[in-house]
Structure 1
Amino acid sequence: MHKSFRFYLQLGFTLLVCAFLIVPIVLSMLAGITDNFFIGLSSGFTGRWIAQVWDTYQVTIWRSIAIALACLVVTTIAGVPLAYMLARHNGGNSRLARAIEELLMMPVAVPGLATALALIMAYGQYREFRGSLLFILVGHVLFTLPFMVRPVLAVMQSSQLSVLEEAAASLGAGLMQRFFGIVIPNVFSGILAGALMVVTLSIGEFNITWMLHTPLTMTLPVGLADSYASMRLEVGSAYTLIFFVMIIPLLIAMQWVTHTTRSRVRL
C-alpha cells in the first residue's frame, strides 16, 4: 500500500521538530569535547574540559545524587501510603481525596521560585536548617511527591486490589499484612516508575534549588548555571555532557517502565 503525501508531510514535520530540539543539544555536547568551540571541530577534540569540570564541580554531582536518593526514600515512604489512602476513598473520587490531590499538585502548579520563597519565609529564621542540605531536600520532596503518588495511584485504580484485599482479609490477614503482602507487590511497577521520575526530577531541579542553596550546598544544576556564567563555554558544555550522561539512562529506564506498565494494564 502506497503511503500518501500526507504521511510524508507529517513525517517531515516530525523530523524537522526533532532536529530543532536535538541539534542544539548535540552542539552543546560537542562543545564540551572540542578544544576551541569558536574555531570549530577543526581545533581538535579534548577531554580537558570534562576533567576541569570534574575537578571543580564533582562535589555538586555527588551532592545532587545524595539529595535525589534521600528524596526518593522520603517520597516512597510518604507517597505510597498516601496513594493507597486515596485509592481506598472511593477510587480517589471522594471530596477528601480530590482536595488532597489538589494540595499535592500545588508545588507543581506554582513556580518553583514561589515555593522556595514560601519555604524561606516559613523556615528561613532557623539558620542551621536554612544552611543545610535538609532545607533543599524539603523543597525537592514538595516538588516530586506528586510524581510518586500519581503513578502508584494509577496502578492501584487499574488493578483489582480491593478484591485481593478482601480475599486476604477473609483469610485473616491484617492491614499491614495486606499492605506489604498484597498492595506493594501489585503496584511495584508504579513505584518503580515514580522512583525513576523522582530521581530524574530531583537531579535536574533548578528553580527551587537556586533559591534555597548556599555556596556550601550547591547542586549539579546550580553548578551548571555557575559554570556557564563564570567560565568558558566549553566548561559549561562539558558540565552539560556529564549531566546528560547521568540523566539519559534514567529517562530510558522511565520510558521502558511506563511501556511495561501500560502493557500489563492492557492484559
Structure 2
Amino acid sequence: MPSKTPARRTGYGSRLSFAAGLALTLAIAGFLILPAILSMLAGVTANYFRGLSSGLTLRWVGEVLALYSDTIVLTLGLALATLATTLVLGVPAAWFLVRNPGRASRAIEELLTLPIAVPGLAIALAMILVWGGVGDLRTSWVFILIGHVLFTLPFMMRAVVANLQAIDARTLEEGAASLGAGPWRRFLEVIVPNARPGILAGSLMVVTLSVGEFNLTWMLHTPLTKTLPVGLADAYASMRLEVASAYTLVFFVMIIPLLVAIQWLGGLGAPGGKARR
C-alpha cells in the first residue's frame, strides 16, 4: 500500500502556513486598529488619566456635539461636494486619457499627480496667493472645496483609468459605436457601468481623504469654516484629552456609515439590481 506520510505532511504544512499567515494578519490589524480603539475608549471614560477604572460617561461626546457640531456638518458637506465634483470632472477626464493614449496623455496624467507630491501647506499657500483676493472666496467654504478637489482628483482619475485599461474599454466603445450608439450614450451606458469598480474605489478614497485632510484645510480655513480635523487638533492643543478622544469617536461613528453607504450604492448597479455583498 502507498504511504500516506507525504500527504499528511503536506496537509500539516498547509495548516501551519495558514495559521502563521492568520497570526501575522491579526498582529498587523491589531497594530493598526488598537491605537484608534484606545483613543475612542478614552473618549467615554470619566477621567483620561485614571482610565476605565474611573467609569464610563457620554459627557465628553455631548460636549463635542455641543461645541463642534458645525464642524461635523461642514466636513460631511465638503466630503460629499468633493466627491460629486471629482466624479463630474474625474470620470470623463480618465476616459479621455484612456481613449487617447500617447505622450501627451501620459504627461497630463503625471501633472495631475503633482498635488499629491507637493505638501498641502504649499498648495494652500499658492491658492491664497492666486485666488485669495477674488471676492469673498477666501472666507467661503468653497475655497476649501477647491483645495480638496485639487488634492483628491488624482486618486479618482487613477482608479478609473486603471479599471478602464484592465477591461479594454476602448474595444467596448468601438463595439457600441459599430451598433450606432452616439458618444454620450456610449459613455453613459457602456463606459460608466463598466468603470463602476474603479469609480467605487476612487469614491472611497476621495471621501476618506476629504474627511480626514488636515494640512491643506488648516491653512485654508477661517473661524467660520473650521472642519472636523482642524477642530480635533484644536481640542488636543487645548489639552482637553477626553474631549479630543470623544472627537475621535464621533469621527469614526460618522465616517464608517458613510463608507458603507458608498459601497452599497456602488453595488446597486450589479446584475439583478441588488447591492453586492
TM-score over 0.5 (shorter chain):
yes
Q: Where does 1:107-256 land on structure 2 (aligned, <5 Å)?
A: 107-126=115-134, 128-230=136-238, 232-249=240-257
Query: In structure 1, what is the Cα distance between the partners aligned to 2:64 and 2:239?
Result: 10
Corresponding position: 1:78 with 2:86: no
Distance in 2 between residues matched to 1:163 and 1:43, nearest whole Å: 65
Q: 2:273 aligns to what?
A: none
Name the CA shift for 1:183/1:18 in 2 (closer, same or farther; >3 Å).
Answer: closer
Match of 2:4 in 1: none
Higher mean C-alpha deviation, range 66-75 or range 246-255: 246-255
Following superposition, the deviation at residue 177 of structure 1 comes to 1.5
Q: Does 1:34 align with 2:42?
A: no
Matched, 1:2 2:12: yes
Aligned equivalents of 1:18, 1:173: Cα separation in 2: 48
Check the 8 A contact 2:200/2:263 in 1, yes or no.
Answer: no
Structure with the higher fraction of residues in helix conformation: 1
Deviation at residue 186 of structure 1 after TM alignment: 1.3
Gaps of 5+ in 2: 1-10, 267-277
User: How far apart, in 2, do the equivalents of 1:17 and 1:197 lie?
Assistant: 21
Counterpart Cα distance in 2 of 1:130 and 1:102: 29
Q: Percent identity?
A: 59
1:88 to 89, 94, 99: 99
Distance 2:52 2:222 in 1: 37
Give the equivalent residue in structure 2 for 1:262: none
Q: Decide whether aligned partners of structure 1 residues 203 and 82 sit closer, same or farther in structure 2, where only a CA change above 3 A counts.
A: same
2:179 and 2:41 map into 1 onto residues whose CA distance is 62
Greater RCO, 1 or 2 (C-alpha within 8 Å, sep 6+): 1
Alpha carbons of 1:10 and 1:194: their partners in 2 closer, same or farther (altered >3 Å)? closer
SS of the residue aligned with 2:136?
helix
Opposite residue 169 of structure 2, the aligned amino acid is L
Query: For the residues of structure 2 that align with 1:16 and 1:179, how far apart are their CA atoms?
Result: 44
Q: TM-score, normalised by structure 1?
A: 0.87
Aligned-partner residue type, residue 96 of structure 1: A
| Structure 2 residue 61 is matched with structure 1 residue 50 | yes
Q: What's the offset of the Cα at 1:253?
A: 7.2
Instruction: State the distance in 1 between where 2:180 and 2:33 align.
Output: 56
Out of 178-187 and 41-50, give the one that drifted further: 178-187
> What is the deviation of 1:73?
1.1
- Contact kept, 8 Å, 2:143 with 2:220, in 1: the verdict is yes
Q: Distance in 2 between matches of 1:246 and 1:219?
A: 13
Partner of 1:68: 79
Gap change, CA 1:233 and 1:177, over 3 Å in 2: same
CA gap of 1:73–1:253, structure 2 versus 1, over 3 A, is closer
Instruction: Write the deviation string for residues 210-265 of structure 1: whole angstroms up to 9, x where unpaired.
Output: 0000000000110111111125210000000111122334566789999xxxxxxx
State the alpha-carbon separation in 1 of the partners of residues 194 and 27 from structure 2: 41
